Chain A
Amino acid sequence: MAQFESPIREPLITGNKTYKQITDDIATPTEGTPPISWMIAFGISLTLLMIGFITIGYTIFKGIGVWGLNKTVGWAWDITNFVWWVGIGHAGTLISAILLLFRQKWRTAVNRAAEAMTIFAVMCAGLFPLIHMGRIWDAFFIFPYPNTRGPLWPNFHSPLLWDVFAISTYLTVSVLFWYAGLIPDVATLRDRAKGKFRKFAYGFMAFGWTGSAKQWQRFEYLALVLAGLATPLVLSVHTIVSFDFATSVVKGWHTTIFPPYFVAGAVFSGFAMVLSLMLITRKLFKLEDYITIGHIESMNKVILLTGSIVGVAYLTELFMAFYSAERYELFAFKYNRIQGPLAWAYWIMMSCNVISPQIFWFKKARRNIYITFIMSIFINIGMWFERFVIIVTSIYQDFIPSSWTYYKPTWVEVGIYLGTFGLFFTLFFLFARTLPVIAIAEVKSILRTSGDQFRRKTLEKVDDEPVYQDVEVGQLAQKG
């Protein structure tokens, strides 16, 4: 994938790295005893996971009644969390698939972690459609399996069924993509491994990778094929998730704008989550040379774009509610969201998702780690509230005023949400300790074109050329 790249571009790998150094930098965190900081973080994650186990067990044992739902509000935190986690996953697929097809080299530093994040997020997400069922023990009814009941098939009209297919396909392709990309790196770990178990484990996972030219060729092809498969998924998964709402008659759900709006929102929140995670990982694992400010800026640009798309979608909804003069729809937006008992949620969503990301019009903000981190948290909060606003504020006061209610979560729902954080971070920390968080092979593949030492060499050559003299390329190259 090495092709020509303009020397005045910012280097993607800084710090005069050699190939050996890259291997060492990335592989070291997976070897040796974990640092105390990792232990503490992992302990916290495990605690949260336990809270999740307990609260989910309590829900299954007692019934959905332990949640704060009621006759009017049938979904709240459960489906909010589901959509939120699915959305989080989208950045991974976008980075690994679409950016691969677009030959965006900066993806190499973040794609591995982002893909892992996708898988873990989808696992967290998949939990909610299961546990929100009143009778989880009959969950297999939703699969179209041959049976003696008629045979009785699921309802292919139902978007919930489409969800089952969409999410399971998504998880499968994501795992394949992630694992296929891991193979050369796992082989590297295998070759460095000391100790019988490590050798065996990595050896087993590496599928006998030797690094021959033929293997590399097939590897590249497989990556492209999987990217081709995953690309439509980026669009389809959240489109189908949006159908969960769009195909209903509920005002505030029944909207044709939902598919693009949901996909943009998913990418938006996914990038925010990638940023939150990578800013911490790069610091903890000292990977600043691979995940540079340039990377962060690129991601902030995506956030600005998708955030603005989401903002336009919000305004479009408002305009359509007004322009259609549809009394129930107008009410849903005017009195359920902008005003009304749950207006606070709407305005948290608006300020976190639409107003505050506008700061990224400023380059200084885009390249500021602290602002980026705070914004990434804001966006995660805002996108959670977006789903909450869509789900709860649309149904708690709907067509027939006699059934209007309100919704407040119980400790069980909060516990389950925390539990999914536990699941996510437990898996992420395990991943970070056992597998390379940055794709070693892929980073190496761009070292010659994007490493700063090679850039400098090229620039030294072009310094002699008079045409470039008035450009302060040296300074540019050294920035960041």
Chain B
Amino acid sequence: MKTKQVNNIEPVDMKHDLQVAKQEETPSAAIPVLDYVTDSLQQSKTSRRDFLKTMGFSVSAAALAASCEIPIKKAIPYLNQPEHITPGKALYYASSYFDGKGFSNILVKTRDGRPIKIDANPDAPMGSSASATTQASIISLYDHTRFQAPQLNGEEASWEQVDSSMKAALSKVNGQVVLLTGAVISPTVQAAIDQFSAQYNARHVVFSAHGADAVLLANEEQFGQKAVPVYQFQNAEVVASFGADFLGNWLGGTSFYAKDYISNRKISADNPTMSRHYQVESMMSLTGMNADKRKAMKPSAVKAALFQLHNILAGKMGSSSVSGVGETDQTEFLTAMADDLAAARGKALVVCGLNDVECQKAANAINSILGSYGSTINFGKTLNTIQGDSKEAMQVLADMKSGRIGAVLMHGANPVFHSPAGEEFAAELEKIDLVASFDMSPNESNAFASHILPDSHYLEGWADYEPVSGSMAMAQPTIRPLFNTRQFGESLARLSGEKFEEDQSFVNYMQNAWSSKFGSSFQETWDNAVRAGFMEADSSTETSSAPFSAGNMSYTATSAGESELVLYEDKIGNGEHAGNPYLQELPDPVTKVSWDNYAAISPKYARELGVYVNRNVRPAREMSPVITLTANGKSVDVPVYVQPGVAYGTIAVARGYGRNVAGLVGSDIGVNVNPLAPVNDGVASNFTPVEIAKTGKSYELANSQVHYTINDDRPTVREATLEQYQENHKAGNEFRYLPEFEHAVEPTLYPEKEFPAHHWGMTVDLNSCFGCGACVVACNVENNVPVVGKDEMANHREMHWIRIDRYFASANEDPKSDDYMEDPKAVFMPMMCQHCDNAPCENVCPVNATNHSSEGLNQMAYNRCIGTRYCANNCPFKVRRFNWYDYWGADSWGDANDIKKNEVNSQMRNEFSRMILNPDVTVRSRGVIEKCSFCVQRIQEAKLDAKINNKGLDANTIKTACQSACPADAIVFGDTNNKTSTVHENMKDPRNYFVLEEYHVKPSVGYLTKVTNADVAMFDKSMEGIWKTALENNEHGDGHGDGHGEEGDHGVNSHGETGTHGATNQEDNDH
């Protein structure tokens, strides 16, 4: 086109133009250039020069146009603008998340009709927080591998066809109809189930995939209630956990207990107290890593220890002890624990995670002795998310075998995978006449179903929930169903003959149920519940007890094998989230392994078995030896992961892996260990003796943090004991206040940068962070951080903008010694871009792609980045991430970058998954560096809002994604220039320090020292070496100056105002 235009310029036109120009100009003011245009030139045809110009231009234009084929992407505006939707503005809906076990009150952020982010609903009454699993659940909405339409005998069918076929089949079923579901906490769904059961005389069985039924059975026996009470960690001054990972996956898990537990661990100058946490466990759990005093022992020994504790306490408090309990080798530890518990009577709490009725009864008895009921345990309310009875489930299997069951209908239950008797279930399901599934996604069990009536995603439907008795929650749709799906409750109601008008759906059924319940106040109640996302029916905070009868308590020593196996659940639950790429990629908080399960073994035991791999000193891509575990008559091959803190003789393996049919990415990841669990009296145990055999094979695990200790006295993490902190608020952080240190960080030849308006900063309370990883997933979703897949994780190329570093410390850190890392202490450290004011990354970038904003942000101009990676090399915190491949398929390279599954997780690169992208954040192309931006899009939004509303920015308005996701409120973001902001307060806290501050990089992220309620601070190694020497010299210098030190310490709220401890003394002496 352009060529033509240029060629079309005729000499005649040129001449005409020039003549016009000549006429307009007076001769004296003629432009000199016209002098050159002689008549002969005017008359000439196109000159050689013009020809060359034209030629050059057209050739290059043609080459450009021909070589760069840019894909056409259409953005079509609304024809009719929907109400409430403003392009570029997010809408938030209050809703609820329930996955069969975990529950959260949530806020769903939608942009242009697409849900793109889930956060905890801050107004929710139950201290709700959104765990990593909740945060990540949004991607399952866009999982195109879920059922897209109803199916009949494997063929897609219409709802009418499936419904009528179902009704026909149900009416002539030969035998009992069994409805297998997960936990049901929705009153309306329960009503639909009841209606259905009445209609077809069906038997409703809740199938527990999570192995917590021992708690229910024990409570039924001792309290007469088959329910889980509400544990109130916020009231507990001493917590003792026997194998219960309550910060991870025990009962309510992170969402329920984390906030309450952490509220007692927060420490400040005003309130220098904290709870004490004992943990006795077999594996290294997330909860165990946060304990003040921890003992690792085999599961059988944990049981023995629990009973010994019971008897010690019973002896102390004068109640009856259980006979047959011997003395373990931990008597001293247990006596100390008993003393602490007894001293905190009424404010103590003992929890037990062993799925063993005897143990749960003993734990109940201990809590009863300690007076926990009515204070730290509330039996006035029950936690409804824990349902299910393995006994009943096993009875279903027996009935199937005997041919009494004619139809199995499933929703949220996957017995073929979950049950220890999965193979038998599969064999029986094969024989059943009618197998139907209401599941949202294909799984191992509904592979046998002839009728598929797919449920909608929870973000597409309505629901009411009663997670805790008396507290109602609402879920509302945030998007129209992406596929031809129908809510479970509606399907059931329709099958039971409930009439639905043409345009009616489950919401009408729900409203009918509500209006019959609330009568005249229905509309108001409904509106309020939908708006708020919850309904506070019972606002009393009263804690009540229940009549306890010890019942028939007994102790049967579980057979203590040479090796014992512990089965646990991690972020993906019992496999129900296996298809979630964000969760699979989230490194396990303890092992930092992603995309696999593995046999966690202590270093010493691994060495004895000959399967030891010391990743700590060889951070290479090490292969892990594979071992065969045999228990319950079944064998599986599992790779070994050497994990400090696992009890000697114990092997811990996560459930939920090894699924065959599991969504976007979940198939064939890891191995299924559910069959290894023995079933005792109908209760599927989570521990068992196991036999180990070496296979000689090896396997690669993707381990994102291979080194697990802090070497040579690096002051990366600073720690103090509670006692030390109470004496001196700077404990663990003293050398920051030494004159030598201040001298080291002060001098510079360059003028200091000034940030007159805002200076964004962050503080991370190491005492609050318990390492769950919710922030990592929240950041991924908020900032369009790609999932890279297992192979790239193994290559150490994770793209996470925030990571949780975890370090272990052990009394013996010599890797060659026998007890190396056998009794470690752990600490977590969230690490993100530190937004250094003197950033080493900035000055080395040749093209100014990374630079500093006037508000203290270290920012990236992705378009400018050419990818030299020098900034990443020069970043001492190693938080910069390079786009090694085209992870989102965003580049114009098209199919050329369709990389095979192993290289990059291409399952995320489809039109559905891309709907999760946050339009406020650039999708980075291949070859550029990216990193934490302090959620600059949120800062800008808040600033714009303030501007539009013509008011200042409130101190704590802006919350980064990691901050709002943090269940422990460990992360605080804000304007450090604003004296009323929390971050400003925190920066002045004597516990505050900056990592690598001595390099004068001037980070904007402060860390508050960790304080443990233990005897020694294991991470206090930083006080050794030269800093300790300097400190000692300084103290010697004090001489008689101790008094000054004391004075300086008392009432120190801010070092800035009172002057620093060390410096003050030094000056006093000098004068």
Contact = CB atoms under 8 A, between A and B. Distances in A.
Interface of A: 61-65, 68-72, 74-75, 129, 132-136, 138-139, 141-142, 152-155, 157-161, 164, 244, 247-250, 325, 327-328, 330-331, 335, 341, 395-406, 408
Q: Which of B897, B927, B1001 has the most CB of A within 10 A?
A: B927
Nearest to A152: B848
Contacts of A133: 866-868, 927
B431 interface: no
A443 to B, nearest CB: 43
B690 interface: no
Given A71-B796, A401-B707, A155 B843 contact: yes
Contacts of A249: 840, 874, 876, 999, 1001
B705 A402 contact: yes
11 contacts: A69-B869, A71-B796, A132-B869, A133-B866, A139-B866, A152-B848, A152-B864, A248-B870, A399-B877, A404-B706, A406-B619
Nearest to A394: B873
B706 A248 contact: no
A64 B844 contact: no
Contacts of A330: 712
Nearest to A65: B884
Contacts of B876: 249-250, 398-400
B846 interface: yes
B988 interface: no
Contact of B866 (A142, A341, A396, A400): A142
Q: Please classify how large the interface on chain B is, using the bins under 10, 10 to 19, 20 to 34, 35 or more.
A: 35 or more
Q: Which of B805, B847, B867 has the most CB of A within 10 A?
A: B847
A379 to B, nearest CB: 27
Contacts of A157: 843-844
Contacts of B867: 64, 133-135
A242 to B, nearest CB: 14
B878 interface: yes
B330 interface: no
Contacts of A138: 866
B885 interface: yes
A64 B848 CA distance: 21
Contacts of B877: 399-400, 403
Interface string B83-116: 0000000000000000000000000000000000
Given A135-B866, A158-B845, A335 B878 contact: no
Given A135-B928, A160-B846, A402-B831, A71 B797 contact: yes
B846 to A, nearest CB: 4
Given A65-B885, A74-B870, A400-B878, 11 more contacts: A63-B886, A64-B927, A75-B869, A134-B926, A142-B866, A158-B870, A244-B870, A327-B713, A341-B618, A398-B876, A402-B803
B846 A158 contact: yes
A406 B621 contact: yes
Interface in B836-857: 840, 843-848
B792 A65 contact: yes
B878 A398 contact: yes
Interface string B787-798: 000001001111
Contacts of B806: 402
Contact of B846 (A135, A142, A250, A402): A142
A396 B840 CA distance: 17
Q: Is the interface of A mostly helix, strand, loop or mixed?
A: loop
B807 A74 contact: no
Given A71-B882, A400-B831, A134 B927 contact: yes
A401 B927 contact: no
Contact of A63 (B847, B880, B926, B1001): B926
Contacts of A71: 796-798, 872, 878, 880-882
A133 to B, nearest CB: 5
B962 to A, nearest CB: 17
Interface of B: 617-621, 705-714, 716, 792, 795-798, 803, 805-807, 829, 831, 840, 843-848, 864-870, 872-874, 876-878, 880-886, 893, 896-897, 899, 903-904, 925-929, 995-996, 999, 1001, 1025-1026
B712 A331 contact: yes
Nearest to B618: A341
A139 B849 CA distance: 13
Contact of A399 (B846, B884, B996): B996
Nearest to B840: A249
Contact of A64 (B805, B864, B884): B884
B869 A74 contact: yes
A335 B840 contact: no
A74 B845 contact: no
Nearest to B876: A399
B873 A405 contact: no
A61 B848 CA distance: 25
A134 B882 contact: yes
Contacts of B897: 62-63
A328 B1026 CA distance: 13
Contacts of B999: 249
A154 B805 contact: no
Contact of B844 (A129, A135, A159, A399): A159
A133 B925 CA distance: 13
A135 B927 contact: yes
Contacts of B843: 155, 157-158, 247
Nearest to B803: A402
B1019 to A, nearest CB: 12
A135 B925 contact: yes
Given A62-B885, A402-B805, A70 B618 contact: no
7 shortest interchain CB distances as A-B pairs: A134-B867, A134-B927, A65-B884, A74-B869, A402-B805, A403-B878, A70-B796
Contact of B619 (A132, A400, A404): A404
A74 B831 contact: no
Nearest to A407: B620
A59 B925 CA distance: 15
Nearest to B798: A71
Contacts of B617: 341
A102 to B, nearest CB: 36
A153 B851 CA distance: 13
Nearest to B999: A249
Contacts of A250: 873-874, 876
Contacts of B845: 155, 158, 160
B712 A405 contact: no
Contacts of A141: 847, 864, 866
B928 A134 contact: yes
Contact of A401 (B714, B864, B874, B929): B714
A65 B903 contact: yes
Contacts of B708: 401
